[in-house]
Amino acid sequence: MPPAFDFDLFTIGGGSGGVRASRVSASLGARVAVAESGRFGGTCVNVGCIPKKLFSYAAHVRSELEDAADFGWDIAEPRFDWARLLANKDREITRLNGVYERVLVDAGVEIIRGRATVLGPHTVSLDGKTFTARHILVATGSWPQKPAMPGAELAITSNEAFHLGRLPRSALVVGGGYIAVEFASIFHGLGVKTTLAYRGPRLLRGFDDELGARLGEEMARKGVAIDLNCTPVGLSRLQDLIEVKFNGQRASTFDLVMFATGRKPNTASLGLEAAGVKLSADGAVVVDAFSKSSVDSIHAIGDVTNRLNLTPVATSEGMALAKTLFGGVPTPVDHDNVPTAVFAHPNLATVGLSEQKARARFGRVDVYKTAFRALKHTLGASEEKIFVKLVVDGASQRVVGAHMIGPDAGEIIQGVAIAVKLGATKAQFDATIGIHPTAAEEFVTLREKAA
């Protein structure tokens, strides 16, 4: 007797989450297909985490060269080659595209090229063909959005920033989130005269308030022009420049304008609503703790659900879904105490609750923090400050938040995140001997509560 469905799982989208869910499901014995119309790896590999971090490395070289003289090195006038960076980046991305595709093939997943749409609870369509599946997984990610204003088409988004034909002389980055501060830092580090404009009073809304304020100060100290409470209202072409009009009638010209003003889930024209799938106001697929939509056989993971839009979260959601559907172990997704990093200059990383959220949840909170110049900068004139902060539940003395601004903050917080996830107390942090001299040791040597 032929199987009731063509596949046990049909995944729409070959990004990190979709690939993980498909590969693991196949390893558990499911018959799996993945439909992808573009390159495998999704946003992260192609126009997100990986190329962004490579650009960030390139931009950091400038400060390393500036510091070199303090340590006795005489280095000739450096020259930066944007075209070479792009070519090297593209080569690495192509390699990763192949890796993602190969792991699917090796797992026995059938790859179908094209854009799939949902016809019903168990049916998808692709290039005039229909396929049936016991379960359908939507893993189509998100897409950057531009605000509605005259001339918005003159600006780019993060997608285009990875493929610029030439490096601009001046750039305006609009936004105050992690993508905005990262690209403002990248452009500035590569020698572009950079302005960051944000409509709010402080960068990084949603992070600990102090992090956004301090990061803005550090970026400004490095030379990025930070314009807060500033909103562009229109763009127009002025010869070979873009003129930007701001609220308050002020206008300035830039070689390039980039909007980093949010992303929207990729659900348009997928047929989800017609199939009975509930979407939120922003188009995200509404799912339960097991990534199941309002239709029992249709599931969604990653940015398309707009829960916690981070690549490791999407892959964890994919793993949990595979276990739930085909491993016999219903596995909810754990979104608590997820660490994250912002690869601005300087880096920023965090895990757990902000001071503001901790006070709202626990009432009494103990805060420990410090700011200091790194040992590396004591031989020179740099005034950059490392910032470290611990947030502690006053009743249980558990460390419920750890935050840092400074070099390699992401590398450091990843280790601290284990302790926070396990519910370590401030006393256990204090009992841990630090590695000296490092910035990381500050997390275990903080003793004085902040006023």
In angstroms, what CA-CA distances link 112 with 29, 337, 404?
Answer: 19, 36, 43
Least confident window among 100-104, 409-413, 447-451: 447-451
Q: Tell me the mean pLDDT in the region 201-209.
A: 97
Confidence band (pLDDT; 50, 70, 90) for 1? low
Each residue's pLDDT tens digit, 347-384: 999 999 999 999 999 999 999 999 999 999 999 999 99
- Please provide the DSSP assignment of 340-359 as one string: EEE-SSS-EEEEE--HHHHH
- Kindly state the percentage of the chain with pLDDT values over 70: 99
**Is 7-143+264-326's fold the same as 346-444's?**
no
Residue 274, token pair as written in the block: 């017609």
Compute the distance between CA of residue 163 and CA of residue 167 in angstroms, rounded to an integer.
10
Compute the distance between CA of residue 132 and CA of residue 378 in angstroms, rounded to an integer.
65
Residue 319 has pLDDT above 60, yes or no: yes
What superfamily does domain 346-444 belong to in CATH? FAD/NAD-linked reductase, C-terminal dimerisation domain (3.30.390.30)
Indicate the pairing of strand 110-113 with strand 251-254.
unpaired
Q: Is the domain covering 7-143+264-326 a CATH 3.50.50.60 domain?
A: yes
Compute the distance between CA of residue 203 and CA of residue 214 in angstroms, rounded to an integer.
9
Q: Say what the alpha-carbon torsion angle 334, 339, 344, 346 is, to the nearest 10 degrees.
A: 170
- Residues near 136 by Cβ (< 8 Å), separated by ≥ 6? 9, 10, 11, 12, 118, 121, 122, 124, 297, 298, 299
Compute the distance between CA of residue 103 and CA of residue 19 in angstroms, rounded to an integer.
8
- Kindly state the percentage of the chain with pLDDT values over 90: 98
Each residue's pLDDT tens digit, 381-401: 999 999 999 999 999 999 999
Global pTM reads 0.96
Residue 132, token pair as written in the block: 């049936």
Where do the DSSP E strands lie in 159-269? Answer: 170-174, 193-197, 225-227, 232-238, 241-246, 251-254, 256-259, 263-265
| Catalytic annotation, pick one of 122, 135, 188, 436 | 436
Compute the distance between CA of residue 298 and CA of residue 10 in angstroms, rounded to an integer.
10
Each residue's pLDDT tens digit, 230-287: 999 999 999 999 999 999 889 999 999 999 999 999 999 999 999 999 999 999 999 9
Average pLDDT, the chain: 97
| Predicted pLDDT at 2 | 64
By C-alpha distance, which of 269, 7, 299 is closest to 131?
7
Compute the distance between CA of residue 214 and CA of residue 202 in angstroms, rounded to an integer.
9
Residue 181: phi and psi, rounded to 5, are -70, -30
Q: Tell me the mean pLDDT in the region 309-332.
A: 98
Neighbour count for residue 395 (Cβ, 10 Å): 10
Composition of the chain by helix, strand, coil, percent to 5: 35, 25, 40
Residue 451 has pLDDT above 70, yes or no: no
| Predicted pLDDT at 139 | 98
Residue given tokens 């031989």 in the structure block: 379
In angstroms, what CA-CA distances link 398 with 199, 353, 417?
Answer: 35, 12, 13
Q: For residue 148, with 0-12 CB atoms within 10 Å meaning exposed, 13-18 middle and 19 or more buried, which class applies?
A: exposed
60 as an active site residue: the answer is: no
What residue segments make up the domains of the chain, in order of their start? 7-143+264-326, 152-261, 346-444
| Predicted pLDDT at 249 | 83
Compute the distance between CA of residue 262 and CA of residue 259 in angstroms, rounded to an integer.
8
Higher pLDDT, 427 or 249: 427
Confidence band (pLDDT; 50, 70, 90) for 196? very high
Neighbour count for residue 115 (Cβ, 10 Å): 16
Residue 207: phi and psi, rounded to 5, are -90, 175
What's the length of the chain?
451
Q: Is the domain covering 152-261 a CATH 3.50.50.60 domain?
A: yes
Indicate the pairing of strand 129-138 with strand 7-12.
parallel
Residue 18, token pair as written in the block: 């979709």
| Predicted pLDDT at 183 | 98
Q: Tell me the mean pLDDT in the region 94-112.
A: 98
Compute the distance between CA of residue 29 and CA of residue 106 in angstroms, rounded to an integer.
13
By C-alpha distance, which of 342, 352, 331, 320 is closest to 419?
352
- Where b means 16+ CB within 10 Å and e means fewer, 35-66 reads bbeebbbbbbbbbbbbbbebbbebbbebbeee
The whole-angstrom distance between residue 156's C-alpha and the CA centroid of its chain comes to 18
